[in-house]
Amino acid sequence: MGELVTVTGADCESDIGAIVDIYQHQMGNAALLFDDIPGYAPGFRVVANTMTSQSRIALTLGLPPSASTADLIAYWRDYFSESPMLAPREVADGPILNNVLQGPEIDLRRFPVPLWHEHDGGRYIGTGSLVIQRDPDSEWVNGGTYRVQLQGDRDVSLYISKGKHGQLIMQKYWDRGLPCPVAISCGHDPLLVIAGGAELPFGVSEYDAIGGMAGAPLELLKGPTTGLPIPANAEIVIEGEIHQGDLVPEGPFGEFTGYYATGAAENPRVRVTSVLYRNDPIILGNVPAVPPNDDTYFGGYLRSALLWNQLERAGIPGIRGVWAHEAGGGHYWFTISIDQLYPGHSKQVGTAAQACHVGAYCNKYIVVVDADIDPTNTDQVIWAMCSRVDPPVDVEMLQRCWSTGLDPTAHRAGQGFLNSRMVIDACRPWERIRDFPMVARASKGSQEEVRRKFPHLFDDAGHPVPAQPAGDAR
Q: What is residue 83's predicted lDDT score, i.e. its pLDDT? A: 83
What are the pLDDT digits (tens) for 270-294? Answer: 999 999 999 999 999 999 888 888 8
Q: What is d(CA 18, CA 5) in angstroms, rounded to the nearest whole number?
A: 15
What are the pLDDT digits (tens) for 104-131? Answer: 999 999 999 999 999 999 999 999 999 9
Please tell me the number of Cα atoms within 13 Å of 258 on its side-chain side: 15
What distance lies between CA 311 and its chain's CA centroid?
20
The long-range contacts involving 54-59, CB below 8 angstroms and separated by at least 24 positions, are 54/27, 54/28, 54/297, 55/3, 56/3, 56/31, 57/297, 57/298, 57/301
Q: Answer whether 83's CB lies under 8 Å from 325's CB.
A: no
Q: What is residue 385's predicted lDDT score, i.e. its pLDDT? A: 97
φ, ψ for residue 167, nearest 5 deg? -70, -35
Burial degree of 291 (CB within 10 A; 0-12, 13-18, 19+):
buried
Q: What is residue 354's predicted lDDT score, i.e. its pLDDT? A: 93
SS3 225: coil
Tell me how many degrees the CA angle 351-355-358 measures, rounded to the nearest 5: 120
Closest CA to 255 of 196, 299, 202, 295: 295
73: left (phi over 0), alpha (psi -120 to 50) or beta: alpha
Say what the pTM is. 0.86
Burial 192-213 (b: 16+ CB within 10 A, else e): bbbbbbbbbeeeebbbbbbbbb
Q: What is residue 471's predicted lDDT score, i.e. its pLDDT? A: 58
Q: What is residue 265's predicted lDDT score, i.e. its pLDDT? A: 87
Please tell me the number of Cα atoms within 13 Å of 276 on its side-chain side: 25
2: left (phi over 0), alpha (psi -120 to 50) or beta: left
Q: What is residue 470's predicted lDDT score, i.e. its pLDDT? A: 62
Cis, bond preceding 292 (omega within 30 deg of 0): yes
Closest CA to 389 of 355, 350, 443: 350
CA separation (Å) from 344 to 228, 350, 367, 387, 454? Answer: 50, 10, 15, 19, 43
φ, ψ for residue 243, nearest 5 deg? -100, 140
CA dihedral 282, 288, 294, 297 (to 10 degrees): 140
Query: Over its length of 474 residues, how does the chain's per-residue pLDDT go in tens digits?
Result: 889 999 999 999 999 999 999 998 877 889 999 999 999 999 999 999 999 889 999 999 999 999 999 999 999 999 888 888 999 999 999 999 999 999 999 999 999 999 999 999 999 999 999 999 999 999 899 999 999 999 999 999 999 887 789 999 999 999 999 999 999 999 999 999 999 988 788 899 999 999 999 999 999 999 999 999 999 999 999 999 999 999 999 999 998 888 986 667 899 999 999 999 999 999 999 998 888 888 788 888 999 999 999 999 999 999 999 999 988 888 899 999 999 999 999 999 999 999 998 899 889 999 999 999 999 999 999 999 999 999 999 999 999 998 988 888 888 888 789 999 999 999 999 999 999 999 998 888 999 999 999 999 998 878 898 876 665 544
